[in-house]
Homo-oligomer: A and B are copies of this chain.
Amino acid sequence: MPRSGAEARRRLREAALELYRERGFDQTTAAEIAERAGVNERTFFRHFPDKREVLFDGEADLRAALARAVTEAPAELTPFEVLLRAFRESARNLEETHPYSAPRWEVIAATPALRERELAKHVLLTETVTEALRHRGVADGVADLAARTGWATYQHAVQAWIGDTTRSLDAHLLRAFEDLRALSSG
């Protein structure tokens, strides 16, 4: 049995992903995930409300980190500069967990219930970013537009990186925001 809670969570995440890839999400139970992870079912439910949420561990942390990064960015930065900075910071986390990111994405793309959950996550994150931009004094309408288009740019960069890991996510992000600038001024 793993000793720490963080270690149990990590093992549950990895076990869930393995089983979803082997059998599919629908054919996997929480009990089987717990067994594969070497913990009991009660431990599973101490960490996650259901088998769907295992793949969305850390979402609240990500939201908090983005809100903090936007709030604390230097006052002279433009909204897109603030967002690029915040996304680059959160991208460092994603790069560290990359061996988990790409297969996680494949499972989500293949499973309607997970795709819907992923999309709901994007809406929440966009709202968090909008709110944080407003706190910086960005006008309501512009904050909403910047958060939506900035988040769309981030998603584009993440997908480009999953398809081409010869460059870092950071490089894909810088490129995406440059391309957006070129598109808008073209």
The interface of chain A, by Cβ under 8 A from chain B, is 78-80, 115-116, 119-120, 122-123, 141-142, 144-146, 148-149, 151-153, 155-156, 159-160, 176, 179-181, 183-186
* With A80-B186, A116-B120, A180-B184: A148-B144 Cβ-Cβ less than 8 Å: no
Complexed CA–CA distance, A120 and B113 (Å):
11
Report the 9 A-B pairs with minimum CB-CB distance, sorted nearest first: A184-B184, A148-B152, A119-B119, A116-B116, A78-B186, A152-B152, A149-B149, A145-B156, A149-B152
* Chain A binding surface, main DSSP class: helix
In the complex, what residue of chain B is closest to A81 when comparing beta carbons? Answer: B186
Contact call A144/B119, Cβ cutoff below 8 A: no
Find chain B residues with CB under 8 A from A156 CB: 141, 144-145, 148-149
Return A84 CB to nearest CB of chain B, in Å: 11
In this complex, the member of A116, A120, A152 whose beta carbon has the largest number of chain B beta carbons within 10 angstroms is: A152
Return A178 CB to nearest CB of chain B, in Å: 10
